[in-house]
Amino acid sequence: LVVQIPFTLARDLSMPAVNQEEYIKYMMCCTPISSVFIVLSLLDYWEIILGSKFLIVFLLFIIILTTICFYYLLDPLKFTENKLLIFILCIYKFIVSIVWIYASSQILIDILQFYGFLFKIPESFLGLTVLAFGNSLSDASLDVSLAQKGFGEMALAGTLSG
């Protein structure tokens, strides 16, 4: 639980929930600021941004997107009617999701390299093992859920067909 808290907080600050039960509109307005800082921290790109010409563009982007979000916070009906803003936010969230996938895969690679070094296992073997596990995990979970719902024949056919 203690290890999970920083990752959950970073995820919630960079990609807030959009379902009605968990939606917090103030967190949605803070997302353009927090997600950029979290993404830069995950990828360790602070030196590139702070030491280049991108700093002004970076700050302008954050200010404009945050201002737009807070403007629409005052009148939520304007937000739902503005299809362009919703499209821009969806693209932005998609990019942040890709960065999260990239960062988590880099962490997984680092962990695998550590275990390979610790137990003297070749990296190619560890990579293929994780690749095979990730490839078959979705099929296994589908087959288990089918068997639990009473469709044993379908689960067996799915297991045999691969």
Are 109 and 125 in contact by the 8 Å Cβ rule? The answer is: no
Exposure string over 108-134, b if 16+ CB within 10 A, otherwise e: eeeebeeebeeeeeeeeebeeeeeeee
Cβ(110)–Cβ(133) under 8 Å?
no
> Residue 118's pLDDT is what?
92
Q: What is the pLDDT of residues 91-147, one digit of tens each?
A: 877 887 887 788 788 888 888 889 889 999 888 888 888 878 887 888 888 889 999
Give 15-41 pLDDT, tens digit per residue.
Answer: 766 666 666 767 777 777 777 777 777
pLDDT of 162:
66
Q: How far apart are CA 98 and CA 133, in angstroms?
A: 21
